Amino acid sequence: MLNFPQPDVEQFFQTYGIETFALSPDESQLVFSTNLNGKYNLWAMDLPNTFPYPLTFHNQSCEHLTYDPKGEFVLAVVDEDGDENGQIYAVPPQGGTLQPVRKEEGARHIHPFLSKDGKKLYYTSTKDDATFMKGYRYNLETKEEEVIVHGEEAMTILGDKSPEEKSFLYMKAFANTYQLVYVRNKEEDVLLTPSPDPQHTVSDAVFVSEHEIYLLTNYESDFSYLARFDLETETFEKVVQVETEEFKQMKYDQTTNSLYIISEKGVRDHLYQYKIEDAHLEELDSPVSVIDQLVIAESGRVYLLGDSATVPANLYKQTEEGWEPLTKYGVPGVKEEHLIAPSHVTYESFDGLEIEALLYRPKPEKDNGHMILWPHGGPQFAERDSFRSLFLFLVHEGYSLFAPNFRGSTGYGQTFTKMVEGDWGHAPRLDNIAGIEWLIDQGYAKKDNILLMGGSYGGYMALLLHGRHSEYFKAVVDIFGPCNLFSFIDSVPEHWKPVMAQFVGDPEKDKEKLEEDSPINYLDSMTKPMLVIQGAKDPRVVKAESDQVVEALKEKGRDIEYIVLEDEGHGFSKKENEMLVYRKVLDFLQRHTQ
């Protein structure tokens, strides 16, 4: 009888990822960005065959793919080592070297889309205005370029064009919870919602005809819904809403005159089809818990990218029999029984607010008695029922893990999401402490056996909780978290700066509050062992944020380890780096839980 070793960190982290995908007009080829060779490149399938083959070897992340309407090329937005300065390239369907289309060092290019004939490229960039950005139309044949929209008071992003390209949709983002959409029509700018006040968002908007626009908005509502705007009469009407669900993304299908809508409800997504002619909304089955992307083929067939708690991101095609998987990414060498999905729990915070959380529990025979608190990033984000190799591996190793969607999280209504604005460090911090107390009361955790780990805003919260509540924790892991709100506000990308006063606070008007909520002011209380991880090219939380806290704690003689990844930004784009970091994390946790 052969005996095989138990799965280790490498197997859990050898899962492959998919960032985005695009479909040729005739559905003969599907192109997707995946890390099958350990780094992200473009791969393709010649449908109906699903065997992938490589198109590029650029070894960098791709945030967006668009297929030329004639099927002659694919557009890709690719950055460099996570610097988030995406450049627009083209590659032929058979693959090859990425050909620059719109490229400028230090600038960011986002949301490209093509004219119906494929001759004109529309996109938004920071290249001529790093703060408010501009939307452009670039002629691929004549190389002529013109500005379509330019914001002067908020980050402005070109969104969609009318079928005859006479009108354009664009968004003004004043904050994550205050995003207005306008239509540029005959040199006139028309707001799609009845008023800019009270603050609300339009998360998506599409033309379905030259004068008819559908939008997803929470105007005068806590949760977003489907609305319609008539450009001829300039009238707005609410169309349909599902109670306590956030309509967040949609695609128009011309063949059936339908809208496919993704909604977010807490930790899971739902998929709907809205038939415009009979005004009927129908919920559809979904093969995943969290939907990342929809593509509607010219035939009307739906393609989907998404994942679930124990299944990584995969591509699916809708058929008459149901959803057909086009990829079958899983966790190599790990039996399904070793992949433990979380429970969905709720608890009451310090002020009575209900908080939903994910609770991962190892099998009883493997339970090592330690609980990891994971405050999520964002903070206007949420921990979802989606795949995280890190979580599954830690639970397999015997750790419990608790991920609360504290106030400020998305998926629970506009009021809930806005609760973190201008209050990064008080109520959300106490929501996390209330979660710890709930775990202790329920018998899931003991006060002297709790570990703390988070990334981005979660790294900030890990630092702050360590500084203000160190008595709860045995050890702390901070992954690219800001430690000083003043230097953080000053160092974010330029196009973020207009939203920072509402999002975080004003350095002058809110000086006392920002000082109170900056972890750097609680160094004396940071007495537990720490591991700090930072990407050298991080544009959101620059390396100086981690340097500050590491150097200060070293001067105090504290037990602190520091890992800097020279070729990463705000995350892990390379498999070897991800595995290196999480091996270090496991080693760190094991050393401090003996």
Asked, for residue 367, whether it belongs to a domain, the answer is yes
Token pair in block for residue 206: 């599409």
Given a contact cutoff of 8 angstroms between Cβ atoms, the answer to whether 300 and 23 are in contact is: no
Among 481, 477, 589, 475, CA closest to 528: 475
- 98-112, 162-176, 354-368, 570-584: least confidently modelled range: 570-584
Indicate if the pLDDT at residue 448 is higher than 80: yes
Asked, for residue 358, whether it belongs to a domain, the answer is yes
Asked, for residue 489, whether it belongs to a domain, the answer is yes
Given a contact cutoff of 8 angstroms between Cβ atoms, the answer to whether 358 and 346 are in contact is: no
Residue 561 belongs to domain spanning: 336-591
HSE at residue 436, side-chain half, CA atoms within 13 A, is 25
- Which residues fall within 8 angstroms of residue 527, CB to CB, at 6 or more apart? 470, 558
Q: Compute the C-alpha angle 127/103/250, nearest 5°.
A: 80
Model confidence at 574, in pLDDT bands (50, 70, 90)?
confident
Given the structure tokens 């949760």, which residue do they identify? 223
- Across residues 196-213, what is the average pLDDT? 97
Which amino acid is present at 172? K
Expressed in angstroms, the distance from the first to the final Cα of the chain is 33
In sequence order, which ranges of 30-173 are alpha helices (DSSP H)? none
Q: What are the pLDDT digits (tens) for 490-521?
A: 999 999 999 999 999 999 999 999 999 999 99
Model confidence at 115, in pLDDT bands (50, 70, 90)?
very high
Asked, for residue 42, whether it belongs to a domain, the answer is no
Asked, for residue 2, whether it belongs to a domain, the answer is no
Taking the C-alpha atoms of residue 18 and residue 33, their distance in angstroms, rounded to an integer, is 6
Taking the C-alpha atoms of residue 456 and residue 53, their distance in angstroms, rounded to an integer, is 34
Indicate if the pLDDT at residue 9 is higher than 80: no
Mean pLDDT of the chain: 95
Our count of domains for the chain comes to 1
Given the structure tokens 């001529």, which residue do they identify? 128
Among 340, 353, 342, 313, CA closest to 329: 313
Model confidence at 185, in pLDDT bands (50, 70, 90)?
confident
Model confidence at 2, in pLDDT bands (50, 70, 90)?
confident
Asked, for residue 13, whether it belongs to a domain, the answer is no
Taking the C-alpha atoms of residue 181 and residue 205, their distance in angstroms, rounded to an integer, is 8
The reported pLDDT for the residue numbered 225 is 98
User: What CATH number is associated with residue 389?
Assistant: 3.40.50.1820
What is the pTM for the complete model shown? Answer: 0.95
Asked, for residue 402, whether it belongs to a domain, the answer is yes
Taking the C-alpha atoms of residue 55 and residue 21, their distance in angstroms, rounded to an integer, is 13
Asked, for residue 405, whether it belongs to a domain, the answer is yes
